[in-house]
Amino acid sequence: MFKLLRFMKGYQKECVLAPLFKMLEAFLELLVPLVVAAVIDNGIPHKDTGYLIRMCLLLVFFGLLGLTCSVCAQYFAAKTAVGFTAKVRHALFAHMQSLSYAELDRIGTSSLITRMTSDTNQIQNGVNLTLRLVLRSPFVVFGAMIMAFTIDVKAASIFALIIPVLSVIIFGIMLRSIPLYRQVQIRLDQVLSLTRQNLTGVRVIRAFCKEEEQIHRFEEKNNKMAAEQKHVGRISALLNPFTYVVINLGIIGLVYTGAVRVDAGVLTQGAVVALYNYMSQILVELIKLANLIINITKSIACGNRVQAIFEEHSSLALCEETCESVAEAFAKGACVEFDHVTFRYRDASADMLHDICFTAAAGETIGVIGGTGSGKSSLVSLIPRFYDATSGSVKICNKNVKDFPPDALRRAIGVVPQHPVLFSGTIRSNLCFRKEDATDEELWEALSLAQAEDFVRRLPDGLDAPVSQGGKNFSGGQRQRLTIARALVGNPKLLILDDSASALDYATDAALRRALASLPQNPCCFLVSQRTASLMHADRILVLDDGKLVGEGTHEQLLSFCKVYREIYDSQFKKEAHTK
């Protein structure tokens, strides 16, 4: 948590002024009981109206000055808390973007969202309260005790006894609460993860009539979180009654001692009232301190969770040596080589890919096919370094991909993910992801190649037609064609289409393949598909089975010798088709 304080840079002045103004307010509060005591001892017995008016005006002055100090303290504390949290969010988001797929898969989307929103909001509240109260409350507590000693040492000894007892209660409950609040946040992650899954897959849930089952799962997760919150809430709830009991016992002792000493003529009635006011101030401030500690405890737990993300580092090995420009490496085209590549996902029990070896020349179209879970997407994900190979090497233009800066490498590759993702905005803003300064002619050319020009031109706003979050205002086939067009903008030398035509009809799929074959830059193209019809015209086809490369060749060659490919083909076409 305390490592996050580096984001306080630029707010040093506010961090000093906020508690300073609060201390001034507290100092004025400590003077009030003395004024009240003077009124009781000097003004009321002598019926001195002028004196009473002067003292009342002095109290009003203290109140207005204290209000001014309080408002100034709140302003500086709020400015610091909001600015600090904004910096944390910006840095956290930037750091998340630097993590590899492996870290993002392990941490989970829901957990990252929680830390970006709920956790940072709690940190903001904690910073605000800390700047305003963390010095003020102890100052009032110890200041009241010191002022009490200036009035009467014997009566003030009760303060010296009460304050250590209260400190033990407060800090004991705080130490017990910190790990429990951390556990509550973990439970919140689980609830948010389940909620996100249900909202994302609501169509599937309804299609299989699983609403009641998912409601039951949510209730189970939510009840566990509620039980954790109640447990830590019960512990935190002990704070106020314990402090009230101790303080009221102190007040009883104080009143008794004060009455005896007034009767003996040692103390005045005003002095006893002043001591009582100081004891009341201690009670109020300790309650504030207790609530402050609860909030700080939550903030520390949330801050530790945020700092844990900052301490995560990408598992992708960074390029240590200065390598030639990616643009220069791709200038004559892109060739890809897999040299005995083995890959295993983090924390997985088995390898996903086993000893993969092949070479794809510049301008060649490579089809990748295999059963579900055979490793097709994993294989093409190694090319743009979404993941790093566990062993072996992946080379582009005869250079290991680890020797390219990841960002520059990915900017030179056109990637169409397995699940088409569009962002809220417009069609133009989505198509310009690879090339921000792309002209309208380039965008329409990419749409034409992706077989999306017709439906985009029919839209009233054309390229400026709105796109909702996730592209939900388009059909599945339209989303796929728009993501293909996005990848084609900028004429990449290497193109990866990961099952990007699954929602297209066969005629559109065929037209898309013809368009890709006619690209002027003649890119090396990887086509991942479940359809043999989509790949049979590729220059070569790679057949994967359980992470192993079991076949490589043209469509006709694979039909003659590759059993896995022949089974996939037979499942999609009549068996007689290749035996005639």
Boundaries of every domain in the chain? 2-307, 329-578
Quote the CATH superfamily of domain 2-307. ABC transporter type 1, transmembrane domain (1.20.1560.10)
Q: What is the pLDDT of residue 317?
A: 65
Instruction: Name the pairing type of β-strands 365-370 and 540-545.
Output: parallel
Could you report the per-residue pLDDT of 199-209, keeping only the tens digit for each? 878 888 888 88
Question: Using CA atoms, how far apart are residues 407 and 401, in angstroms rounded to an integer?
Answer: 11
Rg (CA), the chain: 35
Quick check: 499 and 529 in contact, CB under 8 A?
yes
Task: Quote the DSSP letter at residue 554.
Answer: -
Q: Find the angle CA(434)-CA(440)-CA(444) to the nearest 5 degrees.
A: 85
Quick check: 255 and 128 in contact, CB under 8 A?
no
Element (H, E) at 460: none
CATH number of 329-578: 3.40.50.300
How would DSSP label each residue in 381-403?
HTTTTSS--SEEEEEETTEEGGG
**Quick one: which of 436, 400, 248 has its CA closest to 317?**
400
Q: What is the pLDDT of residue 195?
A: 86
How would DSSP label each residue in 94-132?
HHHHHS-HHHHHHH-HHHHHHIIIIIHHHHHHHHHHHHH
Question: Using CA atoms, how far apart are residues 282 and 566, in angstroms rounded to an integer?
Answer: 84
Q: For the chain, which ranges sit under pLDDT 70?
A: 1, 317-329, 331-333, 574-580
Question: Using CA atoms, how far apart are residues 486 and 500, in angstroms rounded to an integer?
Answer: 12
Q: What is the pLDDT of residue 316?
A: 75
Question: Using CA atoms, how far apart are residues 400 and 383, in angstroms rounded to an integer?
Answer: 10
Question: Using CA atoms, how far apart are residues 330 and 325, in angstroms rounded to an integer?
Answer: 9
Q: What is the pLDDT of residue 318?
A: 65
Could you report the per-residue pLDDT of 437-459, keeping only the tens digit for each? 888 899 999 999 888 888 999 99
Q: How buried is residue 19: exposed, middle or buried, by Cβ count under 10 Å (0-12/13-18/19+)?
A: buried
Could you report the per-residue pLDDT of 144-183, keeping only the tens digit for each? 888 888 887 877 788 778 878 877 887 788 778 777 877 8
